[in-house]
Structure 1
Amino acid sequence: MTAVDVPAGSPFGPENLPYGVFSVGGGAPRVGSRLGDTVLDLSALLTEPDDAVFAAPTLNPFMAQGPARWARVRERLTALAGADLPTAALHPVQDVTLHLPVEVADYVDFYASEHHAANLGRLFRPDAAPLLPNWKHLPVGYHGRSSTVVVSGTDIVRPCGQRKTPQEDAPTYGPSRRLDIEVELGFLVGVGTGLGDRIPVEDFAAHVFGAVLVNDWSARDIQAWEYVPLGPNLGKSFATSIGAWVVPLAALAEARVPVPGQDPQPVEYLRGGEDWGLDVDFAVDWNGEEVARPPYREMYWSPAQMLAHMTVNGATARTGDLFASGTVSGPERHQRGAFIELTWGGAEPVTVKGEERTFLEDGDEVVISATAPGPDGARIGFGEVTGTIRPAR
């Protein structure tokens, strides 16, 4: 038996206790929680009848058990965090393999940052208003591809597709020349709904299990040619990376803030969700050098409003559904969460390791991390979402 040592200032203290799926050696994947630099094997530590879900290779069975069960397990883990535990159920985080934490049922990506949407509007439509007429009336989004959601650390193969610059008479086919990132926060549905049902903003916490880091890789040249009139497709569908650790919604209580203010007032089904903003600070490292610090508290639409909008037409929500915020950006240049914004479409390069850079080159590594305020001055960590660009095949 041994107690888990939590380093001072760790973003994975007992206030956090995120969930993930891990394996050791050639063992079977199962559910764990992180405390400091230790992974707690929940399939070994929790042995009540309902705890069989922790031997599963995804979080889905546990998430489907609902909020009362989530709260009870969190109470038990908090108690265990201060106790002596069986050594065999404790694994140094550097000794485990982390897996995709959920089987992603469906994936929707929103466009919830006014700063990001306005910047892209200025870049793509310089002679028109930055925001399209509907943007401040509903959370704009697109339907993504769940089968290409991958766990942090998975290499990203440069996508191919059609590209057309303004100077070209016709499109050409080939590898993307303007490969980009999008810093996002994702939310995982635990309790779903039936066809024809809706999730009101006040029921957000009854359905959403937790939050996870997201990098929605984007091929801007493919996207620019294809997105009119129906929106993103091949420019986004090749890969979306998520973090290995899912932070429970309960761990983010101290991070909850109102959104910056919505004008005009949203239509009725979106009202009341304005108090579900989150004070999450991101950092973006490009080849080991920090280039941006996007603030999630600047987001115009809250995740409660996103979920309400996603289901207002009666579309089902399922256990394992992932919906993401869209690029997180702030008003300052160093707060922009996509390289197309940070370099203003490539016209204003940034310096990375002494080189002027615009979009991603083969071999580049991007690491996105984030923390949020917790109780008594603690910080809640989300870990990292990383990816390295490999050449097109």
Structure 2
Amino acid sequence: MIRVMDKTLQHPEGHEARAMDQVTFRSDTVLSDVHLLLPNAHHLMTRLNSVGQPVFLSRFRILREEEQKEACSPSEEESHCRLDEDGDLEVVRKPAETAQGRATAHPVILSQAEGAISDEEEEEEEEYGEMDVIKIEHTMATPLEDVGKQIWRGAFLLSDFILSNPAAFTGATVLELGAGTGLASIVMASVAKTVYCTDVGEDLLRMCQRNVHLNQHYIAASDECGVKVRQLDWTADDFLTDADSEFGWSEDEVSDLHDNTTVIIAADVCYDDDLTDALFRTLYRICSNLRHSSTAYISIEKRLNFTLRHMDVSCEAYDHFRRCLEQITELREKEMRFTVSPVSCSFPQFFQYERVNQLELWKVSAFPFPTQCSSTSSRNHGENDATLKTNPESRSKS
């Protein structure tokens, strides 16, 4: 369960002010969808990150079976955009009493410095146990280039899927691309043998590493397993193996990844066309070098935006993602074959968030054919890397 702890600040004039009132947002500031659900909530800041945004520590309790039915899910009427008689977008607003009642369904913000929790939270931990609680350090707003420091609904959807199918991931070696705060990797590590939790940016990776340490009680780790936070740049051609880098790869880790990985996950990482192209090139390159067949699970949320180019509401980032899915299945590859299929999101909801109809989960399966010679493999890899750059002809064709 996710809740927000009420916290106010005292102005010099004597009146109370909300902690978040002190934050200055820029024109390119992005707010996490999870926290837009309670825009007037009070929050306690724990520190500032390198870009000056507040960082929070939230507790996410995994719902029990009897609570999953009560998880907040939008009705069919609420989840579709409606137009009035003039064709204007009609926003469905929930009654004020409903919004107030949902305060128990959002993050509890803890003070990182003191580490203290309320009496109610202590009672909750005693009742449900420490293993039911995941603690995540994150931001609520960032400039566009730092959106990985926030928690997005796609990460909750992917985490729900993992918890719904633990047998499929038990003992597996897993790679997460664009892990952000590391929520999905931490959930995956409760059943997997090894999880390579990857992203770029030292500040983001350190935040992710702190989250891994905060959840050692939840991670099923041994001396050589668990979650390994590593840098993986989708625009680079190889792994960072610099021994002086805090998040560099060792040769043994690269070998372990190639020899044992069977699952790849990514949550809500397709919001920019260039990055989406880079994601699919990286996915293709890694899958082509794995010893075993692999399956990638990619969660995405269709975000509706009004564009002047179309003079209409559209989902350009989502449309580009779908074109990339089509392209990877059409590759003229003699060594690799990819299949794509949607995953039904009817699985149980283990976290309390708004599972809107725009959330989707896609499965990309990669099947290698090891009988082909290496020279053919190298030639085909180069040809298909170029194809996956999504040239203008392929876009217009789609």
| Bucket of the pairwise TM-score, normalised by the shorter protein | under 0.3
**TM-score, normalised relative to structure 2:** 0.24
Larger radius of gyration: 2
Structure with the bigger RCO (C-alpha within 8 Å, sep 6+) is: 1
